[in-house]
C-alpha cells in the first residue's frame, strides 16, 4: 500500500517561500496523480493543485501565480512551493495521490505550516 509523508519547515516568515516535500513509499511515483491539499485551522479543505507523473500540472486559480508543484522520480518524491506567503497560508498541508486528478485514495498525515514573523 502506498504511504505518503510530508516534510518541511513548520514555521515560515511572511513574504518568504513555503517549501514542502512528500516522500512516497510502497509504490512508484511514475504513475498516478500527485496532489497537494491544505486545511486552515478549524476550516475546510482547499485543493492546491496536482501533477501527473509525466510532469503536467494543474493549479487552483486562486493560487496559480504563487504555486509550483514538481516531481522528482529519482527520489520518489514530489514537492510544493508557495511564494510570498501571508498569514492566510497558515494551514495543515496534505499530500495525496490517486489514479484520477479529481480524487485521492491515499493521503499523508499532514503537516502544520504556520506563517508568522
> Running DSSP on this structure, what letter comes out for residue 103?
B
8 binds another protein (CB under 8 A): no
Distance CA(5)–CA(7), nearest Å, equals 7
Q: Which is nearer to another protein, 85 or 96 (CB)?
A: 96
Q: Which is nearer to another protein, 10 or 44 (CB)?
A: 44
Q: How many CB atoms lie within 10 A of CB 26?
A: 10
Cβ-count burial 43-77 (b if 16+ within 10 Å, e if not):
eeeebbbbbebeeebebeeebeebbbbebeeeebb
Q: Which is nearer to another protein, 8 or 110 (CB)?
A: 110
- Using CB under 8 A as the binding rule, the residues of this chain from 93 to 112 that contact another protein are 94, 98, 100-105, 107-110
Interface pattern 23-52 for another protein (x via CB under 8 A): --------------x------xxxx-xx--
Binding footprint of another protein on the chain (CB under 8 A) = 37, 44-47, 49-50, 58-61, 94, 98, 100-105, 107-110
Amino acid at each position: 500500500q502506498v504511504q505518503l509523508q510530508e516534510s518541511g519547515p513548520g514555521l515560515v516568515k511572511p513574504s518568504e517561500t513555503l517549501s514542502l516535500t512528500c516522500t512516497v513509499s510502497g509504490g512508484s511515483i511514475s504513475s498516478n496523480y500527485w496532489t497537494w491539499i491544505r486545511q486552515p485551522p478549524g476550516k475546510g479543505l482547499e485543493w492546491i493543485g496536482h501533477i501527473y507523473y509525466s510532469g503536467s500540472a494543474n493549479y487552483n486559480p486562486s493560487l496559480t501565480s504563487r504555486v509550483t508543484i514538481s516531481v522528482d522520480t529519482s527520489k520518489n518524491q514530489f514537492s510544493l512551493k508557495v511564494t510570498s506567503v501571508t498569514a492566510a497560508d497558515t494551514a495543515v498541508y496534505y499530500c495525496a495521490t490517486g489514479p484520477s486528478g479529481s480524487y485521492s485514495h491515499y493521503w499523508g498525515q499532514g503537516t502544520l505550516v504556520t506563517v508568522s514573523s
